[in-house]
Amino acid sequence: MVSIQKKINFTFSPQQVVDCDPSNYGCNGGWPPYVLKYAKTQAIANNTKYPYTWDTYLFGVSGTCANLSGPYKVSTYTTTASSTTAANNCPALLRQVAKTPMVVVIAASNAFMYYSSGVLDISTCPANAINHAVYLVGVDNCNNWIIQNSWGVWWGINGFAKLAPNNTCNICRYGGTYTTML
């Protein structure tokens, strides 16, 4: 997460949310506004202090909640369905990510799981599924979406990937969610 007001870049621990947030379903999925609701009541550790846990096949696993508090809580969050970056509006999402990174949900596939370079295009995504949350951090000079995944630096290009412009992998389907941190 980024706090423009505090001029910090802070990576919340996805593993803490997987292990400790009862409103989501661990490795079986969740929804970004539920995670941010949890982050308003619980200080979240950073990814270094509470790292992602992997099994022998490099799939994430749910663990026992360590309840390690971090230095920051989310003070407010805006889901873009009720703000200027409405669902199914790629130009609005593009304008908003120019101001601040945000959480978005996408349709991830096997090609996504094993991504290591290049630009993922619409042919690599399931048709209408939404099954994964990522952090939308910007666009490149070709308007490819730049996302950060929670799976660590071993995935993609040091934890990042590029999706082709427009609604690739349904990135615009639900808009995005951005935060203000205390």
Question: If you write DSSP's letter for every residue of 81-113 in order, what string do you get?
Answer: GGSSS-TT-HHHHHHHHTT--EEEEE---HHHH
**CA dihedral of 45, 74, 175, 29, whole degrees rounded to 10:** 40
- Decide if 149 is catalytic: yes
Q: Active site residue: 24, 47, 144, 149, which one? A: 149
pTM (2 d.p.)? 0.75
Active site residue 132: yes
Counts for the chain of helices (H) and strands (E), in that order: 4, 9
Reduced DSSP (H G I as helix, E B as strand, rest coil) percent helix, strand, coil of the chain, to 5: 25, 25, 50
Q: Where are the domains of the chain?
A: 2-181
- Separation between Cα atoms, residue 76 and residue 35, nearest integer Å: 12
Q: Kindly provide the residue ranges of all beta strands, DSSP E only, lying in the chain, ordered along the sequence.
A: 2-3, 8-9, 74-79, 102-106, 119-120, 132-139, 145-148, 160-163, 176-181
pLDDT in 10s for each residue of the chain, 182 residues = 444 444 445 567 778 888 888 887 666 666 777 777 787 788 778 777 888 776 665 566 777 888 666 666 666 666 554 344 456 789 988 988 888 888 888 988 888 888 999 999 877 787 777 888 888 999 999 999 999 987 878 889 998 999 999 988 999 888 877 765 54
φ, ψ for residue 106, nearest 5 deg: -135, 170
- Name 54's bridge partners: 60
Active-site residue (options: 47, 132, 144, 167): 132
Q: What's the DSSP call for residue 157?
A: B
Q: What are the Cα distances from residue 43, in Å, to 30, 67, 70, 149?
A: 18, 9, 5, 21
Superfamily classification of domain 2-181: Cysteine proteinases (3.90.70.10)
